[in-house]
Amino acid sequence: MAMKVWINGKEEHLSDGMSVGDLLSERKIRREVVVVELNGNVPKREDYESVLLKDGDTVELVFYMGGGRCYDKGAIGYVRPRST
């Protein structure tokens, strides 16, 4: 069965029993580049696997932005390396 959650203001349907960690893994988001806000609270990174999402939850994914580049093809923010 699917549950309805709001992620960054967009309604989405996810599998029941999904944790915050599962959500990040499914979207290939590295934990060190994001802060997760769940219903106005920020869970500790070490608790992401045990914090379960529920129907009606509101999730905000806030990304750190820096001057570096990401060369992991599967990750959010991937930049293709330049040919030299």
Q: Looking at residue 49, which CATH number applies to its domain?
A: 3.10.20.30
The reported pTM is 0.74
Where in the sequence is the domain holding 20, given as residue range(s)? 2-63
Q: What is the DSSP letter of 46?
A: G
Residue 10 dihedral angles phi and psi, to the nearest 5°: -110, 130
pLDDT of residue 73: 56
- Is the pLDDT at 46 greater than 80? The verdict is yes
First and final CA of the chain: distance in angstroms?
49
Answer with the residue of higher pLDDT: 33 or 67: 33
In a domain, 77, yes or no: no
Which has the closest alpha carbon to 18: 62, 58, 48?
Answer: 48
38 in Cβ contact with 51 (< 8 Å): yes
Query: pLDDT at residue 18 above 80?
Result: yes
Bridge partner residues of 41 (DSSP): 38
DSSP percent split of the chain into helix, strand, coil, nearest 5: 15, 35, 50
Q: How many domains does the chain have?
A: 1
